[in-house]
Amino acid sequence: MMETQKFISVILPLKLEWEPCYSLPEDTYEICVGQRVKVRFAFKEYIGVVSAVGITPEIAVERIQSIVSIEEGLEKILPEEIELWRKVAEYYLCTSGEVYKAAYPSGKVNLEEARAAAISRTMLRRERLLEGMREKIRRLEERLEKKEAMTARTREGTKARLMHTEGSEKLRKEINMAKEALAAAESSRETGTQTASYQGISESGIVLNNAQKEAYDRICEGFGNGKPVLLHGVTGSGKTEIYIKLAQKTIAEGRNVLYLVPEIALSRQLEERLNVHFGGKVITYHSGESAARRRAAAEDVRSHTDEGRSGYIVLGTRSSLFLPHHDLGLIVVDEEHDSSYKQDSPAPRYNGRDTALMLSTIHGSNIILGSATPSLEELYNCSIGKHTLVRLEERYHAGESAGVMIIDTKAERRKKGMEGNFSRKLISLIRETLSKGEQVMILRSRRAWAPVLQCDECGKIVRCPHCNVSLSYHKDEKGGFIACHYCGFRSSYSDSCTSCGGHLKNLGAGTQRIEEEASRLFPEAVVARLDSDATQNKTYESKIIRAFSKGEIDILVGTQMVTKGFDFSNLTLVAAIAADTLLGLQDFRADEKALQVLEQFRGRCGRRGRRGLFIIQTSQPDHPVYSRLSSGNIGMACTELMSERQEFGYPPYTRIVEVILKDTDEKRLTVMSSRLADELSGITDRMKDNPVEGPYMPVTDKIADQHIRAIRISLPKDRNLKKRKQKILNVVHKFEKDRRYDGHITINVDPV
């Protein structure tokens, strides 16, 4: 019995440390890796992916269940996809099932099943129609045969014979018409699932200057050496033109391109630009697209494999890494430093930049990572020869970098030089800019009208009942509401303290208040806002970006999303309000992140050869980040930061694994986190690593009624890194099992 029975292993969309074994029915035809099957696991049915065939079971055969069915209507998972899942799972200490679930979430699989069922119904109706047409032809041919037999029995020259002959001719014409219709219908069936043909590539509009040409040649040289390339180009240097030129070359060679951006908002402006050069070859994929459009995009990518076509360029955020890519020749990771590439929850907690490097290895593709403010991790990779560094230090239109003016808000308040959150110096500069018909962009890193509400009488700060954070006040025509930006809690707004009845005052200012103040100070200007509140409507987001690009908006107020990669030709003044909030993070990366945000924001203005100005309003004018920014020598600033990291043993010289514990019972959490830290310390002591830090309370130590503790482990970057990470995972799994503490612990590799 066992000799004839076939066994397979299956990846399920679950957190399982093993891949369950299933048997195939005896009458099952050949099955292969990548096919999807429906199976039962723990009394539920799941769609899984066949990961191995012909395996030898490690448990008793009688305990092995048979698959429910082979899902022939669902597309096969490519070997490259499964290989990527395994790499991601291994590096980020999760399971292949969790990566599969992220790549093919239930909603996507449901759409695939619905589409497969619809196609099946359509095919059935078509087959019935075709069979009806064939039956009609058979009946006509039978009538023709009878008619010809009658003609043969009728005497020559009679009227009856003439009628039979005319009838036969009519039948032959009808049969021929029916056969032509049948042939057309069968041809339509065979080609009906193919996508429309693509437009050709336009190479017009891409003219590289001498600096870009030199960088382009060095990039190609780096690719020739088989290394990833970091393009360190100052803002406005024309990195996008180089990416497009590389993409054109790749597609001309018959291979495909993946172009990653960190934010959806960036993709909207870039999509229009890519369409000019690549037409219908551009496939956009991110969570801002509808489920139907994302499914169509995935099918379009897959169809290149099925039909042997090549030449697509996918523009997407990190989720597009898990599309069924075929024969990738180039991966572009724009703004590689951006923390938006990191997935925090749920698993896999992967970094899109590093996962892109894994994907490039699988496909043997070239990969270029670009930024005006590269991450220290990438600069380190270049310093040790792992990656190739290419610098692009000239702006495309030969303009200068924007000047930096620092305004001390404490000094201005003493001199009564402030109007709300705007200094009179900034107000004067904005008016001067508007008078010349130029545009202004204002950065405020907090959204809402007021980030904090505090009682005048008792001093109590209004906090979320489910999180240890203050509630933010959002103003609207109905009086407004207070909301938690962590768990989503919302309540109507009252200006009275619930404890003592005192008056609540607003502390600080969010983008909504800055927008309101700007509208009051500059009544002649058109003012708009771009933050996650305003952009919940994606149509509105595109409208704002397009309107600002066309000059229909004079002042744009926004959060960090306005700092990233936009190209506005008429923008000459940018200002950061309360810039110090970028520095107040309890994080060893705080200065690096602040420097990146401010330098990126500075680069938004003064393009097309115009001189721009960057205003920083701060109460800490002597902070090292501002002096580094003012010097204009970002390279020197990065060198200083690298020295600090090396001295204190932080990344990129080490790897960090963060173990997070969450529990509604704070006492139990305190005990469990301490015990786990002790067990982890025992292992790291034997490995002679840096001591385990924690457990400690993060800045936000309670979210959605869950108390939080963190344990941070620093590991040396050496050949034993993989083994050490696995030991950490083993300790956590054993701890969960022994203490019956499953569901409370998560592991975050390389937190940002």
Is the model's pLDDT at 115 over the cut of 50? Answer: yes
Burial 245-281 (b: 16+ CB within 10 A, else e): bbbbbbbeeebbbbbbbbbbbbbbbbeebbbebbeeb
The tokens for 454 are 């505090």
What is the spatial distance between Cα 554 and Cα 566, in angstroms, rounded to a whole number?
16
591 contacts: CB under 8 Å, gap ≥ 6 = 583, 624, 625, 641
What is the spatial distance between Cα 96 and Cα 85, in angstroms, rounded to a whole number?
6
What is the spatial distance between Cα 286 and Cα 95, in angstroms, rounded to a whole number?
23
What's the pLDDT score for residue 200? 46
What is the spatial distance between Cα 42 and Cα 677, in angstroms, rounded to a whole number?
32
Nearest to 436 by CA among 525, 562, 519, 550: 525
What is the spatial distance between Cα 407 and Cα 419, in angstroms, rounded to a whole number?
14
Model confidence pLDDT, tens digit, residues 298-329: 988 988 755 555 689 999 999 999 999 989 99
Q: What's the rounded mean pLDDT across residues 119-129?
A: 67
What is the spatial distance between Cα 590 and Cα 482, in angstroms, rounded to a whole number?
28
Polymer length in residues for the chain: 752
Higher pLDDT, 266 or 422: 422
The tokens for 349 are 């907690």
82 contacts: CB under 8 Å, gap ≥ 6 = 11, 33, 34, 49, 51, 96
Q: What's the rounded mean pLDDT across residues 597-611?
A: 83
Higher pLDDT, 156 or 139: 139
What is the spatial distance between Cα 39 and Cα 46, in angstroms, rounded to a whole number?
6
Model confidence pLDDT, tens digit, residues 409-461: 999 999 999 999 999 999 999 999 999 999 999 999 999 999 999 999 999 99
Strands 654-663 and 706-716: antiparallel
Measured in degrees and rounded to the nearest 5, phi and psi for residue 15 equal -80, 85
Is the model's pLDDT at 116 over the cut of 70? Answer: no
* Cβ neighbours, 10 Å, residue 489: 16
Is the model's pLDDT at 505 over the cut of 50? Answer: yes
In the numeric block, the tokens 């999180």 are attached to 467
What is the spatial distance between Cα 676 and Cα 732, in angstroms, rounded to a whole number?
8
Is the model's pLDDT at 564 over the cut of 50? Answer: yes
Burial 89-118 (b: 16+ CB within 10 A, else e): bbbbbbbbbbbbbbbbeeeebebbbebeee
Nearest to 546 by CA among 269, 263, 276: 269
Q: What DSSP state is assigned to residue 531? A: S
Dihedral sign (CA 380, 384, 386, 390): positive
Q: What DSSP state is assigned to residue 566? A: -
The residue type found at 79 is: P
What's the pLDDT score for residue 107? 65
What is the spatial distance between Cα 238 and Cα 396, in angstroms, rounded to a whole number?
5
Asked if 509 and 578 count as a contact pair (C-beta separation under 8 A), the reply is: yes
What's the pLDDT score for residue 1? 42
Q: What DSSP state is assigned to residue 488? A: -
- The distance of Cα 737 from the centroid of its chain, to the nearest Å, equals 34
What's the pLDDT score for residue 33? 96
What's the pLDDT score for residue 128? 74
Q: What's the rounded mean pLDDT across residues 246-250?
A: 95
pLDDT category of residue 81 using cuts at 50, 70 and 90: very high
pLDDT category of residue 248 using cuts at 50, 70 and 90: very high
What is the spatial distance between Cα 614 and Cα 4, in angstroms, rounded to a whole number?
75
Q: Is 121 left (phi over 0), alpha (psi -120 to 50) or beta?
A: alpha
Asked if 359 and 320 count as a contact pair (C-beta separation under 8 A), the reply is: no
Is the model's pLDDT at 235 over the cut of 70? Answer: yes
Q: Order across the sheet with 403-408: list the strands.
A: 403-408, 613-618, 571-576, 439-443, 555-558, 527-530
Vertex 598: Cα angle to 594 and 604 (nearest 5): 150
3-class secondary-structure state, position 538: helix
Q: Comparing 161-165, 241-245, 517-521, which segment has the lowest mean pLDDT?
A: 161-165
Q: What DSSP state is assigned to residue 470? A: B
What is the spatial distance between Cα 108 and Cα 567, in angstroms, rounded to a whole number?
34
Higher pLDDT, 178 or 723: 723
Q: What's the rounded mean pLDDT across residues 656-682?
A: 96
What's the pLDDT score for residue 727? 94
Q: What is the pTM of this model?
A: 0.85
Taking each helix axis from N to C terminus, what angle separates 79-91 and 352-363, rounded to the nearest 10 degrees? Answer: 140
609 contacts: CB under 8 Å, gap ≥ 6 = 397, 398, 399
Across-strand partners of 66?
Answer: 23
Mean of pLDDT over the chain: 88
Is the model's pLDDT at 685 over the cut of 60? Answer: no
Nearest to 332 by CA among 421, 402, 266: 266
Is the model's pLDDT at 623 over the cut of 80? Answer: yes
Asked if 594 and 625 count as a contact pair (C-beta separation under 8 A), the reply is: yes
Asked if 426 and 617 count as a contact pair (C-beta separation under 8 A), the reply is: yes
3-class secondary-structure state, position 28: coil
Is the model's pLDDT at 4 over the cut of 80? Answer: no
The DSSP element (H or E) to which 115 belongs, if any, is: helix 106-153
3-class secondary-structure state, position 635: helix
What's the pLDDT score for residue 272? 84
Nearest to 297 by CA among 318, 312, 279: 312
What's the pLDDT score for residue 124? 66
Alpha-carbon distances of 434 from 78, 570, 726, rounded to whole Å: 55, 11, 59
What's the pLDDT score for residue 27? 78
Instruction: Indicate the Cα dihedral angle 133, 139, 145, 150, nearest 10°.
Output: -140
What's the pLDDT score for residue 567? 78
Nearest to 448 by CA among 395, 394, 486, 422: 486
Is the model's pLDDT at 123 over the cut of 70? Answer: no
Asked if 258 and 314 count as a contact pair (C-beta separation under 8 A), the reply is: yes
